[in-house]
Amino acid sequence: MRAKDVMSRGVVSVTSDASIFEAAEALTKCGVSAMPVVDADGHMVGIVSEADLIRRAGTDAGGSSPPLLHRLAEDVGTAAAYVHANSHRVVDVMTTNVITVDENAPLGDVAELMLRNGIKRLPVRSGDAIVGMVSRIDLLRALMPHLAPPAAAAAEVQQLPSSDEELRRHVLAAVRNQSWSVPHDIDVAVSDGIVHLWGRVPSEIAAQAHLIAIGKVPGVRGIENHLHVVQPVMRLD
């Protein structure tokens, strides 16, 4: 799958001469966290996010802004910070170094680009035109089928044993097929899906291995461990 297969189309944008209030209103109305900023010709010149607007609103609410007006002519960095903190225009608070992705980019590349740059949404371009937006939730929605358990495993989970005796047979098979198991020293009883495990094992790790193997058997509701660890006796001839 590619970016164009999962992106949201009909992207809503805001013009660069819009006010930050208009941008905030557009974001909340559309329920998105960011949107492209376009110039008078419809070309994308930046992107404005909820973080940009919250940062700007925080200044109006009493947050700090650089009190260094006397240095504006000398310090371009301070001047830029002052404009960003005090302007009411989108063009002055938007992000201009925008990362975009081609509509034919594979989803793996899209995900890597998002994670590497710590961004949640990417404008999707076709040539020079922005044709959509792809978000992390779009990627997750597309990847969900790959996260689901395999069909065979799902079928196995659904085919639960019909009785405690059948479950006992499944448990014994799961244990006795393991190379570390000592079958003749192990016995199992099952009552209402609860497995009671009896017998002797040579070590604690062997006991733990039995519990893990039994816990993976579909239909097991719990395990009562009655195993005894009996260290092998070393013979001195």
Neighbours of 135 (CB within 10 A): 19
Report whether pLDDT(226) > 50.
Answer: yes
The pair of structure tokens assigned to 237 is 């001839």
Within 13 Å, how many C-alpha atoms sit on residue 237's CB side? 0
Whether residues 94 and 8 share a domain: the answer is yes
Residue 75: inside a domain: yes
Asked if residue 190 lies in contact with residue 196, where contact means CB atoms within 8 angstroms, the answer is yes
Distance CA 108, CA 86 (A): 39
Whether residues 185 and 102 share a domain: the answer is no
3-state secondary structure of 81: helix
Asked if residue 198 lies in contact with residue 186, where contact means CB atoms within 8 angstroms, the answer is yes
Within 13 Å, how many C-alpha atoms sit on residue 161's CB side? 19
Distance CA 69, CA 76 (A): 11
User: Tell me, what CATH number does 188's domain have?
Assistant: 3.30.1340.30
- Percent of the chain whose pLDDT exceeds 90: 16
Spell out the long-range contacts of 229-232 with Cβ–Cβ below 8 A and sequence spacing 24 or more: 229/200, 229/201, 229/202, 229/203, 229/204, 230/200, 230/201, 230/202, 231/202, 231/203, 232/202
pLDDT tens for each residue of 24-74: 888 888 877 788 998 888 888 988 888 777 766 544 444 444 443 344 334
Report whether pLDDT(9) > 60.
Answer: yes
- Percent of the chain whose pLDDT exceeds 70: 77
Which residue range forms the structural domain that includes residue 66? 3-147
pLDDT tens for each residue of 155-171: 455 567 889 999 999 99
Q: What is the mean pLDDT of residues 90-94?
A: 82
The pLDDT value given to residue 71: 43
Phi, psi at residue 74, to the nearest 5°?
A: -100, -30
> Which residues is 94 bridged to in the sheet?
none
Whether residues 202 and 86 share a domain: the answer is no
- Residue 140 vs residues 99, 124, 198, 228: alpha-carbon distances, Å: 20, 17, 45, 47
Residue 23: inside a domain: yes
The strand order across the sheet containing 34-38 reads: 14-15, 34-38, 44-49
Mean pLDDT of the chain: 78
Distance CA 98, CA 96 (A): 5
Whether residues 198 and 127 share a domain: the answer is no
Which of 98, 116, 147 represents a domain boundary (last residue)? 147
Q: What is the mean pLDDT of residues 88-110?
A: 87
> Which residues is 229 bridged to in the sheet?
201
Residue 79: inside a domain: yes
User: Tell me, what CATH number does 29's domain have?
Assistant: 3.10.580.10
Total tally of structural domains belonging to the chain: 2
Residue 152: inside a domain: no
Radius of gyration from C-alpha coordinates of the chain? 31
